[in-house]
Amino acid sequence: MTVTIRKIDEHDFHVLITLFNEFALFEKLPEKMTNSVEQMLIEKEYLTGFVAVNTEDEILGYVTYFFGYYTWIGKSLYMDDLYVRPDFRGVGVGTQLINEVIAFAKAKNCKKLRWQVSEWNKPAIDFYKSLGANVDAVESNCDLVF
C-alpha cells in the first residue's frame, strides 16, 4: 500500500471530524469530544498536523501538534493526537506519521517532542518505547475547561 504524508488542509475537516470522534470513542471518552467542522474552520490557524492518505486520497490517519515552550528545556513540539483508523493499523501508517512529526520538530530546532499515552494502551506504549521515548507516570493531566 502506498501512503503519502501531507499537511492537514481545510478540505480535510469533514473527514477529520469523523476521525476525531473515532479517536474519542477509542479513548473511551466520547462525551469529551465537542469539536465541530464549524469550529475547526473558525480556528483553522491553530489546527496543525499531517494526514496519511492512500492513492485515492482517503485519510488513513492523522497527527496534530502545536509548539510549546517548556521552561526547563525551551522550544518544543507537543503532539496532541496520533490516530490511525483500525483497518490501517499495524502496516506502518502510525510510524510514518510520527516520523514526520519528529522530522518536523527537528527541522524547527525543537528541543523535544512531548505527548501523552493512556496507561491502558499497552500497544501504543510499546510502540513509543521502541522509538526511544521515555514513558513515565510522573505527572497527571490538569484540565480547566471553559
Q: Report how far residue 117's alpha carbon sits from residue 123's, in angstroms, rounded to the nearest whole number.
A: 10
The tens-digit pLDDT sequence of the chain (146 residues) is 899 999 999 999 999 999 999 999 999 999 999 999 999 999 999 999 999 999 999 999 999 999 999 999 999 999 999 999 999 999 999 999 999 999 999 999 999 999 999 889 999 999 999 999 999 888 777 876 78
Domains annotated for the chain, with CATH where assigned, are: 4-118 (3.40.630.30)
Active site residues: 128
**pTM for this prediction:** 0.92
Strand pairing class (113-114; 59-70): unpaired
Nearest to 23 by CA among 113, 117, 101: 117
